[in-house]
Every structure is written in structure tokens, then in C-alpha cells.
Structure 1
Amino acid sequence: MKLYFNIEYHAKPGENLELIIDEKDSSIRNHMMFHTENDLWKCEVDFFSKSIAYQYRLKDERGNVLHEEFVQHHLSFPHNYKEFLIFDEWNSKNFPENYLNNKILKNKLNQFVPQKTSVLKKHTHLFRIEAPVYNPDWEIILIGNVASLGNWSYENSIHLSQTDFGIWEASVEISEIQLIQYKYAIFDKKQQKIIDVESGENRLTDPNPQNDVLQIVSDHYFRFKSYQMYHDAGVAVPVFSLRTENGFGVGEFSDLKKLADWANEISLGIIQILPINDTTANYSWTDSYPYAAVSVYALHPQYISIENLDFKLPKDLVGEYEAEKNELNSLELVDYEKMISSKWKYLKAIFNVEKEKIYKDRSFKKFIKDNEEWLLPYSAFCVLRDKYKTPNFNNWKTHKKYIAGKITPFFSAKNKDYDASMLHAWVQFQLDKQLKDVIEYIHGLGISLKGDLPIGIYRYSVEAWTEPELFGMDFQAGAPPDQFTEIGQNWEFPTYDWEAMKNDNYKWWKNRFKALEKYFDAMRIDHILGFFRIWRMPVSATQGILGYFYPAVPVVLEEFKARHIPFDFERYCTPFINDEILWKYFGEESFKALEYINKYSDGKYQFKEEFNTQRKISDYFKESNNDLSEKLISLCANVLFLTEEKNGDAVYHPRFNVFKTESYQYLSDWEKRSIYELYQDYFFKRQDYLWKEKAMEKLPVILNATDMLICGEDLGLVPDCVPEVMDELAIIALKVQRMPSGNIQFYNPKKAGYLNVVTASSHDSSTLRQWWKENQVLTQTYFNQQLNQQGKAPEDLNPYLAEIIMKQHLYNDAMLAIFPIQEFFALDENLINYKMDNERINNPAVFPHYWRYRMHLNLENLMESSEFNQKISNWVNDSGRN
């Protein structure tokens, strides 16, 4: 076959367009295009297959890639033609056809049957538009300025066939030899009429007088006024927080069915949950932290339903089980330790009784075979963690270093740890089975499930054990100071070695997304800023304040010299302590501090070597943490710059909020001014290009591996390049009304653009009712300016005001409006939890925090609140979010 490619693209002198064809045998063929008049680029290709995948790329004279498509074009060719004239448009990731054609669409149109389009030998043009339609009663039609296209007549329009999800095609004969103008429109089959026509200028294509050549008009970026039509509302709730009459003191996967029933009752189309991966490290309450998974693949056993297993409980345990179930289910909050201990007791009992049947189960055998790559190391990890009473593989007596060949025997029947390994594998099999059953039920209601992908991995996880080369184990990830905490956050996760991950084209990340895609239609990427840069601390630090951006363009010694800053390592990079500072921190207890600090003859002080890092102080006071230790740790952060070794040389990073340190206050005025200018340049100017480059290096590759709708949690100190990249890659941004970016107090959801999720609160924030009482001055401003209310704000957030807030978030252009379940309760006096502080899920300023929030009402109670449910349903439907 002969393929003649044409694409209009404005390039600068010296720049060239290149066509890259992705062959089925994994080889890539590059074809240089040549430039003709009117910015048209052409290329002729001999091809031998009936379908093709390709993309365009712009290069400079040196061969550097300047711009490239992140979404491939796909075309199929009818058998009765040998030559094809292809007219393309640049395919941007943020075109609606690319971000709307996701798993949510396939979920909502699960009965989709592809149609065929007939291409006759006499046809001259094949029109093709990518336009995912979320309404099954709608289809795409074509109207145009020539008689063959109906002369703009709606009655004589050309109906396109949906040949694949979101792909519409029509083959026509256009005999007129003139410039063809046309537009696409939406036709409602029920109403039997056109309901929307593309806005903007007419589309154009050339006539095709050539015999035996089919002209393929491959269009992109539909422009229907009402077409940003996927508008949904949803509820956000951690699975562990669900409460049902038949629960076990914690939410289980099976409880999601009842949540979906309620969501369906009030016309919600999406359910958002927190991470559900296994976090079992010590079997203590600290394992309740859902963002510290010991495996990025394994599901958490806390979500398993004992009553929905393939096998029943032994009869002699039924009474004990029922008693524990009733006790745990009556609690206001999750008792993590008791709950997980009891679940494992019953899981082991069932496994030991039914072991022979389990081992013969063909479905279980298949699950092991399909998932062995991650399941084997996970199961071995669990066995070794339990045997040595720690997830810290560095402290194990055997298998400290992961060697695949030495782990394989864990799945051998002759191995002494075989039964223990199989127990963990079987629990994963049951969890997977229960969750997939739930998802099928949720999808049957037309509801989508949105998951949450943590940005980091736990330091003592399966992945850290099996693939340490992919992580910076000598560092910790966290976040700089923000609205949550003045000292920043230290998550204690290792950082990523992105260069190592790049070497195999980010296989680790692709596999992770593919695993999540088995369950979820949409995904929230926790702290998406981590793909641009991470806030990195040495392991010697305990507080996020002692971190710096990585990667970053650091400060080098020459810059200090150029600004005439008298750099001195001891003065700038170690804690500055004098008599005044010592007294400010310790007052009359200064003498106690001198046990840990040396005083020198020049009146300066320095921490003793055994206490000269936050980690050393923290470890020393581990058993008796007190006010003194906290002050010593805080004093450790009284530095101006943090040092890092780069290519054998020392480089420097200004400490966050350096101008607020006591050390800064004792500098001369001109020194303060110079360091402040350097600080502003480091944090707000010099990094943007680097961070954008790093994000665009990895995000397109990783995100192209999934069909999920991708949302990014972009709160905190957000660089200018982040919204640019998110827009270019069509990553849905998060807008929390009381956590705006920029110099405004509140974000107005009415101004939200389409590619946004709007919400009133997050799992890291206080609830609306709690927040209302935190700062009366701020609340008053919000009451008057944001809610447009007169007079003094009430002491408590009442249902009337909660309704205004919810409607502000429903009635706007944002794709998604998702509300924590606590904010639904705030809408009705009969549903309010009067123990308001029990409703907070997490406070990032407190680490580690006990994640134990439970709904105070059963889901069954919510289903019975018919008047309330109808009210919410009316709002959702009236706002067009269904």
C-alpha cells in the first residue's frame, strides 16, 4: 500500500517534522517529512499492514526533540484500496477525545457493540473523528457545504458509525471539485434531532478527483458546546470508614456495594476511596496509615470479609466470631490492632482446616500463576516479616538481600515455609475475588470507582527489598511547610532514582498503573508534584523543614562570591546558637541543654557530635520524648543552607523560610538582603524549566500505559510549571475551596474550568464543621464574601450554609464535584455527628497518626433517609451531573 501523509504544522526555520511509525514487531520506523507551502508537511510511505499506529515529532537541526505527540494515531485501511491520502491534525493529549475516552466511558457503555462502516470502491473520502459519547442515545453526524454532504441541511446529514469506543467513521462519495467545508454535530436518536453543532470555524478538506485513492480525513478536537458532557458528582470515603450492620469494626470491600446503592439513590456517579494496599508492618495501630504500603500490588487483609470467603468458619469458632464482631462493630472508631488480630485468627483457622481443598482449587492455582511475579516475593516477605518480628529486612537473620532464586522455594511444597507462604497468597486471592465482585456490582449501577495512588513507597516494603536500585534509600521524601504544618512533612519514604527507572522506560510505574487498572476507572495521584520534584531530606533529619527540592538547580560557591556573601560553612550550614538564642529556646532550663551542646570561648555554641542531627537526638530520647528533646530538635533546624554532594562537589540549598530563622536575624542587613534575593531566585525562578523537563520526561510515558482517568493532587507549594504540564497532559487538577493557590483566601468553585475536581475538604483537612470553628476571623470573611451572607457568622456551620457550599461545588463547569461523606452528613440535623472531632480522618501535622475514622451511621440508615436522599438527588440532577 501507498500512504501519503499530510499534516499542517507551523515550524520555525531549522526545525523539521518527523513521522514515527510503530511496527507490530516492536520496531520503530522514522520518516522525515518535507515542507511545502502553507505550513503543510508531507511524507510518502510504503506499508504492508491493514492497520497502523504512528505519531509526529518536531526536531531541531541537531536532532533534539522539541515537541512530540504523546498519543498515537491509529488507522485501519479498507481492503479495496491500495493508496490512501491521509490528512492529519496534531493529536494533543489534552484534546477531549483523549482524556474522555477512558475506563469510565467503557464502564458506562458496557453494552457497546462496534459498528461497521462500508467503504465502497466509488467512495472518495473517509471522515473519521474521535469523539467519546457518554450518552448511549447520541451519535455523531456530518454536515457540509456540498450536495454530497447535504448542503448544510440537517435532514440530509451523514450519520457516522461508532467503529470502536469513541471512534466515529463515515465513508462517502464527494463528486464536487471544490473546497469542502464541514462540521460534526450530535444527533439524539430518541428525540430524532440534532442537539448540538460544533462551534468555531468550519473544518476544511480538499476534493479528491483521483480514482482508486481514498482520502482519509482524520480529525481531532471536537468542538461541541455541550460536549464537555461528562459531569459527575461523587462521594469520597475511605473503605475502612464504612459502617454497616453486618460489619467487623472496619469497612470491608463488600460494604462498597451498600455505599454504591446509596450513591445510586442520590444520583452520584463516582465513588472515591483512599489507598487499599497492604500496610501490615508491625500489626500495630501505626499500620493504619494507608500511604505506607508494604506492597504496591497486595491488597490489605483488613478489607476481607470472613463471611464471604470460599469456605465457612469452623463451627467451634462461630460463637467467638459473632461476639467479637458485635463488640468491634459497636465502637465509634476503628480498633485497628484488635480488628486485624481477630481477622488473621479466623483466616488462619479456615486455611488450616480447608488447606487440601485450597491447594486443589484451579482458580487459586491460576491466580498464583498470573500474579507470581509480585505474589511470590510478597508472600515470602510476609513470612520473613512475621518470623523475625520486623519488616526491616536489614535486621532479618536470613534473606536480608533479595535473591530471586533463594525466594522461589517459598512456593515449593517441600519448603518448611510453604504453608505460611500459601496462606498469604490465598488471602490475596480472596481479596482480589471479593473486590472484583464488588466492582462488577458497582459498574452494574453505572457508577465508577476512583482509587488513590500514593507517591511514595514504605522504606521497609517488598519493593524496597526486591528492587533497592530503583530507590534513594539514603534519603527521605516529604513535603515543605504548607497550610498543614509549619515544619513540613517527613513521610520517611525513600525517594525514587528516576534515572534508574528511565533505563527500562519506567516499567516499574507502568506495571503499577496496570495493577490498579484492574480495579479502578479513575485514579487520584497523591502529591503529583513528586513527578516534577520531591522534597528530599537526609536520613539524619526528622522534620520536613530540613529538606530541599530534588532535582534542583542548587546554589554553588561561585554564586555566594558573585553576590559578595561571605560564605562560611560553620555559620551557614550548622545550627547557629548564641546566648540569646539559647535563652529563647530553653529559658531557665538552658543548663539542661548544655548536656547536649558545647560552649566555646567566643560565646558561640555547637551541638556535641553525638547529638548533632535531629535523628541522633530523636533516637536518644526515643523512650522519654519530652519538651526538651523537641526544643533540641527544633534548634537543629536553625540553619541557613543545607548541603548536598553533587559530582564530588558540595552544593547548597537555602533552608525553607530561611528569613524566619534566628540565624538569619543575626546577619547584617546587606547580608540578609543578598541571601533573601538568593532564596527568592532558588524557590521561585530557577527551577521551573528543570522541573517541567523532568515531568515531561516521565509522565507521558507512564500515563500512556493506562486507560484510567487521571487526577492529580496538586496542593501545597505549586510551581508555575505544574498547571502547564497538567493541562498539556490533561491531568485533572484538584481545587479545594479553602486551599487556593496564589494570593487569594478562597477558591471560587464557580470559576473552575472543566479539567478540575472541586471539593470542599480533603482527607488531610479538617471537615467543614471543624474548620468553621478554627479561625473566627477567617470564617467571618468566608461567610460574607464567599457565601454572600450578611451580618455575623453563626458559631456553628448549620445545614443551610452547608447546602450553599455544596451547591457552589455542584453548579459549575468542573468535570467532577466530589465530597467527603462527612460533608453530606453536615446537610441534615438528623444525620450530623455530634462528636465532631471524631470525623477528622488525618492531620498531616501529627505523625504517625491513627487513621481510624468510622461513619457514625450505618449505610443502611442512609438508605432509609428517603427525604434527604431525594433532596441530594434533585440537586445533582438539576446541576447536570448525571
Structure 2
Amino acid sequence: MNEAADPQLQPVHSLLKRRRAGVLLHVTSLPGPATVGDLGSNAYRFVDFLVASGMTVWQILPIGPTMHDNSPYQSSSVYAGNPRLISLEMLLERGWLDEMPEAPISDEEKTNAIHNAGKRFHESASDEERHDYQRFIAEQKHWLEDYALFQALKQEESACWWDWHVTLRDRKPQALAMARARLKSVIQTVCFEQYLFYTQWMCLKQYANERGILLFGDVPIFVAHDSAEVWAHREIFDLLEDGHPRVVAGVPPDYFSETGQRWGNPLYCWDKLSEDNFSFWVNRLKAQSTLFDLLRIDHFRGFEAYWEIPAEEETAVNGHWVEAPGEELFRVLYRELPELELVAEDLGVITPEVEALRKACDLPGMKILQFAFSGGADNPYLPFHHTKDAVVYTGTHDNDTTLGWYTGLDDQSREFVDDYLGKPREIMPWPMIRSALASRANLAIIPLQDILGLDGSHRMNTPGTTEGNWDWRFDWDMVKPETESRLMHRVKMYGR
């Protein structure tokens, strides 16, 4: 391959050419009065914490509307924001709420409050506010129209889209027109929710950027089956005539699971995407790059080859690899969006072909320190193997906390970790934090759980499981008075 010399496969990456440090924390993990964290005052306080700690990056998981398991990697839209992240506090400040519900605020109470704010807005908004709302509706029409109708129909049908009446399932024009008229008020509410989310998000982004903090987002490679995009664009997904998937996505048995992971997402019809010059991906990443300064492409190896599982299989064991047109896709992406700032999540089964694609695209990969201490000196996650074009982590949202991982090691493995790290006097996880910050990798990301020294009970997600995930939250009482200065000292020490 000679693509490394091709300017169409050479992104700018200006933000990733200097040494930086950041923190991994999903918005839902922020403190607050509702069932999940939101875009209100605690988000701004967290930005201030990053600044005081010398950090310049806030990494966040996908922010789309979640489903019953709250996984941010299974969303009903690749464009929409999660309404649960809307801050009622900020609606009160805008005068669109008379009072805050009493804490703790349930999801139902929050939804009702947002609906009441919508009524107040449509009754009494100023001309400037109405103009801003209409501008948003017009700018986002290319996805918002389908998404709002999809959500309204979901409420009416109480079923997945492939189980709707066949005329709605198959998007017959007359049925859709009748639904838009019948569900007009619900559609208006959904649009207002998205207006609130986007407005609050961009205010937070501006606040962060003005203080030198970059927002680092996450783009899942696959799309949830029960999503507006699959319903509206069935032609680009490998589906049967009745809307069910023929094959589904996942990964083979690996570090996390003996039976692999059967994610269940429908797979792309890459030939159809290519015929349309990958407009689905171009539009998707264009939208995400307005919300974030950097983007992690989840499951990057799926752009070289993906694990195809027959839909009737209950596990991922009986899948097989199918080649994907990653080189062609990224050539188009960088031609259309030349200033994309991307990071490849290159974990899992990484072959020479996957590594060649990553290098051809000049994308930083990921180095996880928790993976480094097995297999001998040639383990690529060991710090002395790191290169500048990498992002080093103590662990990710899919790993145990570093303290939980360390205490779960057997005595021999724990002794090896201690020996490698020089038998430091600091207690874990600070030796691992120090190792990450000292790495040659230009970007070091530390999960907040590690900064707070929390054990495995504070883990965010355990891959291959469906219970007890995605609901971890911190409290400001967990942040010790010396935490900011301690981080700032280390960040300066290692030139970040």
C-alpha cells in the first residue's frame, strides 16, 4: 500500500500534534438532582475542574438517546441528543419553567417539566428566540424530520418499527402524511427537546473551548436496529423484506467474553453506501464534528473487516470476517471533511491489514495500560512501545477501574506490575496515572474513577453483560482538596 503519500488519506490532526492530557467522564456520570447527570451547572463545574488540573481534553461517550439498557452505544438516532441530558436548571434560568421539581427528579417528572417548558416557549418566546428555534429546525431538517416522526410513532405504536403497521413500517407516503398530521403536537415536542439539547450543548462547548478544553466524542461504527436512521434508510442496511436483519454485528471471543459479543446491530450494505459516495458517513461525521473537537471512531477494525453473525445465532461464536471498504471510505471522508480530527479505537483482533489501514489514514490508535502486563516484553501496550501517534489510557469505560483491576490480579501478576512500575511509594492507581502521563503518546486520558482512586464497584461497563452498567455517578465529595494540584503537578512534569 502506498496510501501514506496520498493527501486524501492524510488528515490535519493539528489538535493531536502536541502533548495533552484529559479525563474520561460521561455526562450521565455528573452529579445532579435527576436520574442522570446533565448539561447544567455541574458540567460547567467539571470544566473548571479540568482547567484547574491542567487538563485540556474532556472525553465523553456517545450522547444520543438511549434505550432500555441505557447503553450509549445503542441509540435511536445517530444525530439526536439524549433528552435526559437536558438541564432543567437552565430552563428555569431562561424563564421557561416556574420552578424546579423537588429532588430526586424522576425521568417522568423531567419529561413533564420539559413539555411544560415547550408550552411556555411557544406561548411567550421572544421574536429572537422564535427565530433561533426556526433556524435550528431548518438546519437540522435532513435528520430531524424523520427522527421526530419516528419518536412520535414509537409512542403511538409502543413497538419496534418493524412491528408497526406495514404502511408505516414501509414508509408509504400517504401513511406518513397522515401520521404527521395526527401526531403534530408530539412531533413539535420532540423537535423542541432537540432544540434544547443542541442549544445547551453548544453553550457548554463554547464555555469549554474558551477555557482551552477540547470535547472528545465517540462515534459507534454501527447503528441500532430500532433507530430512525435504519427505519428511514433501509436500503443501506442488510435487512430482510420485513425489516428484520439478515445478519448482525459483534466481535468474536476475546479478552472480554468466551462467546464473543453479539451486539445485534444490522450491518451495512457497503456497496450501496459506496454508490452514494458514502454520504451517510459524511453527513454523520460532519454533524458530530460540530458537537466535538475530536472524535473516537469506535471499533475501527470493522472498517477493514467486520464480524458477521447470522441473525438467528444467540452468540457471536459462529460468525466470520467480511472485508469492508475502509480505505475507500476514509478517502472520501478526508476529501469532504479535510479537518476531521479522528482517533481509531483499534482494540480487539488487530491484524496487519487493520494496522496498515490505520497508518494509511494517519490515525492515532489506543494503548490501554491494563492490557500491558502479560505476554512478555513484546506486548504492544507496554509504555516503551508507545508512539506519539497514540492515545494512552489507564483503562477505558469497558475496563474495571485501575484499582479494581490491580486488586483483582494474582500475587505474581501484581508483583510484576509493581516491579515494572519501579515499586513506587504512591498507592495505586497513581503509579499507573504517572505511567500514562509519562508515555510518549501525545494524548493521555485518565478515567475519573482512577483519578478519584475508586475500586471496582465504580466500574462503568462490563462488556458482554446487560445488567448494572452505565449508571455510575460521582459526587463532588469524592474529589479530595489536593486532587487538582496533584494532577497539575504531574501534567506539568510530563510536558502535557
- Give the match's secondary structure for 2:23: strand
* Aligned alpha-carbon RMSD (Å): 2.6
Give the equivalent residue in structure 2 for 1:71: 7
Q: Is the 8 A contact 2:146 2:228 kept in 1?
A: yes
- Partner letter of residue 526 of structure 1? D
- Partner letter of residue 492 of structure 1? G
Q: Is the 8 A contact 1:767 1:840 kept in 2?
A: yes
Q: Is the 8 A contact 2:368 2:395 kept in 1?
A: yes
- Partner letter of residue 164 of structure 2? N
Give the equivalent residue in structure 2 for 1:496: 268
Larger of the two Rg values belongs to structure: 1
Q: Report which of the two has the higher share of helix.
A: 2
Give the equivalent residue in structure 2 for 1:738: 370
- Partner letter of residue 275 of structure 2? N
Q: Distance in 2 between matches of 1:505 and 1:848?
A: 39
Greater shift in the superposed pair: 348-357 or 706-715:
348-357
Give the equivalent residue in structure 2 for 1:696: 327
Q: CA deviation at 1:406?
A: 5.2
Q: Distance in 1 between matches of 2:295 and 2:448?
A: 19
Does 2:73 correspond to 1:301?
no
> CA offsets, 1:294-345, max 9 Å, x none?
1100000010011212854654xx3xx442x2x35xxxxxxxxxx4322212
What are the within-5 Å matches in structure 2 for residues 261-300 of structure 1? 261-280=48-67, 284=68, 286=69, 288-300=70-82
Q: Distance in 2 between matches of 1:253 and 1:709?
A: 24
Give the equivalent residue in structure 1 for 2:255: 483
> CA offsets, 1:39-98, max 9 Å, x none?
xxxxxxxxxxxxxxxxxxxxxxxxxx97585426xxxxxxxxxxxxxxxxxxx72xxxx4
TM-score (norm 1): 0.52
Q: Is the 8 A contact 2:305 2:322 kept in 1?
A: yes
Give the equivalent residue in structure 2 for 1:825: 452
Does 2:290 correspond to 1:518?
yes
What are the within-5 Å matches in structure 2 for residues 100-499 of structure 1? 100-101=13-14, 104=15, 230-244=18-32, 247-254=33-40, 255-280=42-67, 284=68, 286=69, 288-309=70-91, 312=95, 315=98, 318=99, 321-323=100-102, 325=103, 327=104, 339-357=106-124, 361-396=130-165, 398-403=167-172, 407=176, 415-472=181-238, 473-499=245-271
Give the equivalent residue in structure 1 for 2:312: 540
Q: Is the 8 A contact 1:384 1:396 kept in 2?
A: no
- Partner letter of residue 467 of structure 1? H
Partner of residue 300 from structure 2, selected from 521, 528, 533: 528
Q: How many residues align?
A: 483
Q: Distance in 2 between matches of 1:70 and 1:278?
A: 38
Q: CA deviation at 1:447?
A: 1.0
Q: Distance in 2 between matches of 1:231 and 1:66?
A: 28
Partner of residue 12 from structure 2, selected from 74, 81, 99: 99
Give the equivalent residue in structure 2 for 1:878: 493
> CA offsets, 1:629-650, max 9 Å, x none?
xxxxxxxxxxxxxxxxxxxxxx
Give the equivalent residue in structure 2 for 1:724: 356
What are the within-5 Å matches in structure 2 for residues 848-859 of structure 1? 850-855=469-474, 857-858=475-476
Q: Report which of the two has the higher share of strand.
A: 1
Go from structure 1 to structure 2 and tell me whether the alpha carbon gap of 1:466 and 1:404 turns closer, same or farther (over 3 Å shift). Answer: farther
Q: CA deviation at 1:742?
A: 9.6
Go from structure 1 to structure 2 and tell me whether the alpha carbon gap of 1:359 and 1:425 turns closer, same or farther (over 3 Å shift). Answer: farther
What are the within-5 Å matches in structure 2 for residues 621-700 of structure 1? 694-700=325-331
Q: Which runs of 5+ in 2 are unaligned?
A: 239-244
Go from structure 1 to structure 2 and tell me whether the alpha carbon gap of 1:100 and 1:786 turns closer, same or farther (over 3 Å shift). Answer: same
Go from structure 1 to structure 2 and tell me whether the alpha carbon gap of 1:721 and 1:440 turns closer, same or farther (over 3 Å shift). Answer: same
Greater relative contact order (Cα 8 A, min sep 6): structure 1 or 2? 2
Go from structure 1 to structure 2 and tell me whether the alpha carbon gap of 1:423 and 1:260 turns closer, same or farther (over 3 Å shift). Answer: same
Q: CA deviation at 1:751?
A: 3.0
Q: Distance in 2 between matches of 1:880 and 1:367?
A: 41
Give the equivalent residue in structure 2 for 1:811: 438
- Partner letter of residue 80 of structure 2? A
Q: CA deviation at 1:391?
A: 3.1
- Give the match's secondary structure for 2:246: strand
Q: Is the 8 A contact 1:536 1:550 kept in 2?
A: yes
Partner of residue 780 from structure 1, selected from 398, 401, 414: 414
Q: Distance in 2 between matches of 1:300 and 1:506?
A: 26
Give the equivalent residue in structure 2 for 1:800: 427
- Partner letter of residue 279 of structure 1? T
Q: Is the 8 A contact 2:4 2:361 kept in 1?
A: no
Q: Is the 8 A contact 1:715 1:739 kept in 2?
A: no
Q: CA deviation at 1:759?
A: 0.8
- Give the match's secondary structure for 1:534: strand
Give the equivalent residue in structure 2 for 1:112: none
Partner of residue 840 from structure 1, selected from 455, 459, 467: 459
- Give the match's secondary structure for 1:432: helix
Q: Distance in 1 between matches of 2:481 and 2:20?
A: 21
Q: Distance in 1 between matches of 2:112 and 2:341?
A: 38
Q: Is the 8 A contact 1:528 1:712 kept in 2?
A: yes
- Give the match's secondary structure for 2:119: helix
Q: Between the two proteins, what is the percent identity of the paired residues?
A: 24
